[in-house]
């Protein structure tokens, strides 16, 4: 199964979504914390590393369209490339999670 992990706002809260790329449905959701976001934002992050997080929870009722989760913040490739990003929202969320605490989000 080809999967990606997308950072979105879900009901006003940050969420990482595991997306089946072929069907374009969300199969699992993870509420992020600082460590998970650092791993996610690290260029060395991979789907295998991301899949290893214990915070993943199945989506009720099967898969959902990721667009139902309202706002996309970031969708990266495993090699650090960007598929899609909302730059203003990305930096707003980085400020919320890291810079407001005097922390850099890099590895």
Inter-CA distances, 63 with 29, 30, 41, Å: 10, 14, 25
| pLDDT over 90, % of the chain | 14
Q: Work out whether the CA dihedral 25, 43, 30, 9 comes out positive or negative.
A: negative
Candidate from 11-15, 70-74, 77-81 with smallest mean pLDDT: 77-81
Candidate from 8-17, 27-36, 59-68 with smallest mean pLDDT: 59-68
């Amino acid at each position: 199964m080809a999967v990606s992990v997308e950072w979105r706002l879900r009901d006003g809260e940050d969420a990482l979504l595991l997306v089946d790329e072929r069907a374009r449905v969300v199969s699992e959701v993870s509420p992020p914390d600082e460590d998970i976001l650092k791993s996610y934002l690290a260029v060395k992050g991979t789907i295998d590393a991301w899949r290893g997080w214990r915070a993943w929870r199945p989506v009720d009722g099967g898969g959902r369209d990721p667009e139902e989760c309202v706002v996309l913040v970031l969708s990266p490739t495993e090699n650090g490339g960007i598929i899609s990003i909302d730059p203003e929202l990305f930096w707003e969320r980085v400020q919320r999670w890291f810079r407001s605490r005097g922390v850099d989000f890099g590895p």
